[in-house]
Structure 1
Amino acid sequence: MSSTKLLLANNNGVFLFKKDFSQESNWRSDNCYKFIYSLKGTIDYQTNRSQHTINNQQFILFNPLEKHKQLAIDDRKFLIELNPAFLSKVSQALYPVHNDIQFATSIQKNYHISNWVRFVLDFAHLEKDDTRSMDMFLEHSFTQLALMLVRSAVGTHTQDINLNTYKTINPQIYKTILALKESYQYPWTLDEMAKVSRLSKFQFAHYFKDITGISPYSWLQTYRVVRSQEMLKKTNKTVLKIAMDCGFSSVTVYNQLFKRLYGITPGTFREMVNK
């Protein structure tokens, strides 16, 4: 097995680490959940809805049969493909989920997932020649990743965004995100967000993106979508009323963001969960 490529698999998924490879510029639509993590440098991907740049220690999730292609990569990537039936089993053990989870197609970053990636790679490189120990390790590793993704990554099952990891990493940013959550309907400006953190708006914007992987405004808009999902599931409010109640400037902006994240409109999402 090459030192620049590591490929392992079992019934629950496929584990792939690549350093030297040819460009993969063809469109793909695999029947699995695809977790792509940047170990170093940037990776550019395109879907039929948007283009994404994954920076160091950030990741993106592609849902089963979601069309995507890799445009460019600087250095190394870490990829895991998860069996949809396996992830569904994990999600149903945690949440009353009756539909397959659709993760938001957006850049995300999570401190615990980054630590997990480093640990898995270290162990896999050390034990890759011991088939028995690697089989046992993969079985537990896929379960660990599925648990972390279901609990931490934004998706159609998400009811809230957990802030615990931010509390110790950067208390100033944590304080601001807490304020955004408490008043998510409010039309926040960057100056107002920075004032809560007691940082200049330039420092605040830099630290915020470094910690969460996205800009403050993008995070707020994503959180508004998360809050809207429960309303779509559990109320008879119109899509227009939900958009306004969640702080969107218009129902058009809400529909466009929802579709960019999930590939479907809020109305279609409501029909799916009601079935």
Structure 2
Amino acid sequence: MPVLQHIGADKGQIAHDARLNQRQLLQVLDYLNDHLDQEIKLADLANLLGISQFHFSRLFRQSVGLSPYQYLLQQRIETAKQLLKQTDDSIMEIALRCGFNSHSHLTQQFRKFTGITPSRYRSDR
């Protein structure tokens, strides 16, 4: 775990603007992108770096601007958008490839992020 320094901070106090270093961030982002189709738990990500879930979540949010879950959803939706535009795979196949457990879960999250359904997004291509 990297040593976090903050001028004027008491011993044991972690700086409020602490972030993951570049190597850690790339390691986590690569893992997320390589495992989009799988269930990813906060514990899995924290264990990659050998830190607590709470600490990881806070550092990730400071580094990326989103919670790990929000980032994962965003990446899954972006991947679904690409697949909808570039393939003729069914919505269910795309849902599974992007880590959603059902057509309806993908549709619900897709609509939250884009304002339209995956079917509508595909038909607008």
What's the TM-score once normalised by structure 1's chain length?
0.37
Q: Sequence identity, in percent?
A: 28
Find 1:244's aligned residue among 83, 96, 104.
96
**Structure whose CA Rg is larger:** 1
Q: Is the 8 A contact 2:95 2:106 kept in 1?
A: yes
Q: What is the Cα deviation at residue 174 of structure 1?
A: 2.4
Unmatched 5+ residue regions in structure 1? 1-165
Q: What is the Cα deviation at residue 216 of structure 1?
A: 0.6
Q: Is the 8 A contact 1:173 1:207 kept in 2?
A: no
Bigger strand fraction: 1
Q: Please say if 1:260 is aligned against 2:105.
A: no
Q: What is the Cα deviation at residue 169 of structure 1?
A: 4.7
3-state SS, counterpart of residue 124 of structure 2: helix
Matched letter for residue 68 of structure 2: P
Q: Please say if 1:212 is aligned against 2:64.
A: yes
Unmatched 5+ residue regions in structure 2? 1-18
Matched letter for residue 181 of structure 1: N
What's the TM-score once normalised by structure 2's chain length?
0.78
Find 1:183's aligned residue among 30, 35, 54.
35
What is the match of residue 202 of structure 1? 54
Q: Is the 8 A contact 1:186 1:247 kept in 2?
A: yes
Matched letter for residue 251 of structure 1: H
Alpha-carbon deviations, 1:96-136, whole Å to 9, x = none? xxxxxxxxxxxxxxxxxxxxxxxxxxxxxxxxxxxxxxxxx
Moved over 6 A (4+): none
Q: How many residues are treated as equivalent by the alignment?
A: 107
Bigger helix fraction: 2
